[in-house]
Amino acid sequence: MKKFTIILLGIFILGGVIQILHSSTGESELRKEIVKVKYINVLAARSVLVQFISPKGKIQVILDESRLIIEDIPEVMAKLLSILKELDVRPVDLQFNIELVLGSMTSDKKMDLDKELKSDLIIKELRSLLRYKSFELLDSSIIKVQESKRSSQIIGGEGINLKLNLRPRYIKEEKGDIFQVELELIQLLDVNGVGKKRSLTLIDTTLTIKSGERTVVGVSKLDGGDKALILILSGQVIK
């Protein structure tokens, strides 16, 4: 991710400064800090910081409290705390709009009367690319999630048991925000009417979308018939 790459580049520049400081440590007294890591994995934080400690320095982890015990000379300690501040930042809050559309190869008067879908640009494009003649909006949902976190939600409305798993990564670029999204759509099916469920994966994909841009994630046939589920996704950063 470009944002993370820039942070790491800055960190390694700081690392060069720290190496210079190493050569003039003398007999400086060690400074000790106990720091709470709030947003990133504490072991991941240690793995970055340990590359920049002085020969006298050491970093211990209190795993169950997500804390680091850092000991080093004052000059290096200041740089280590600066690096940690750059790394340990709150994940961006994201919002995704999910539209689930049912397409059919046979003409259905009820579905044909959906004027909103008839004027929808994506549906118009699907009509020209696919053989489906009629479309119906089954469900529209909103998922709020932090970047790099996994979110699950039941969608589909009454009679269609679907579970959507979604994990996005946020990339900030000059031309606009971009999301890399790992997405899985699962149908939950009854097993012999005994209340147990089995899972059938309908869509399993990773895609890149621009902020605010509606994208067709995938099309999945239902029970091998003439109907299919069409999943449309759009996302944005919550300010």
pLDDT of residue 9 exceeding 60, the answer is: no
Each residue's pLDDT tens digit, 37-84: 999 999 999 999 999 999 999 999 999 999 999 999 999 999 999 999
**Cβ atoms 230, 100 nearer than 8 A:** yes
**Residue 163, pLDDT score:** 93
Whole-structure pTM over 0.95, yes or no?
A: no
C-alpha 210 chain-centroid distance: 13
Name the residue with higher pLDDT: 224 or 231.
Answer: 231
**Residue 120, pLDDT score:** 85
**Is residue 29 helix, strand or coil?**
coil
Name the residue with higher pLDDT: 116 or 87.
Answer: 87
Q: What residues contact 138, with CB distance under 8 A and at least 6 apart?
A: 100, 101, 102, 156, 157, 160, 229
**Residue 194, pLDDT score:** 61
Name the residue with higher pLDDT: 190 or 78.
Answer: 78
pLDDT of residue 21 exceeding 60, the answer is: no
Average pLDDT, the chain: 84
Each residue's pLDDT tens digit, 106-129: 776 555 546 667 778 888 888 888
pLDDT of residue 96 exceeding 90, the answer is: yes
Domain boundaries, the chain: 2-87, 93-237
Residue among 42, 54, 43, 46 at smallest CA distance from 15: 54
Q: Across residues 199-216, what is the average pLDDT?
A: 94
Q: Across residues 17-23, what is the average pLDDT?
A: 51
Q: Across residues 13-33, what is the average pLDDT?
A: 62
Instruction: Count the Cβ atoms, other than its own, within 10 Å of residue 158.
Output: 7
Please report, rounded to a whole number, the percentage of residues in the chain having pLDDT higher than 90.
56
**Residue 25, pLDDT score:** 46
C-alpha 34 chain-centroid distance: 30
For 2-87, CATH gives 3.30.1370.120
**Residue 160, pLDDT score:** 79
Q: Across residues 135-147, what is the average pLDDT?
A: 92
Q: Across residues 7-30, what is the average pLDDT?
A: 56
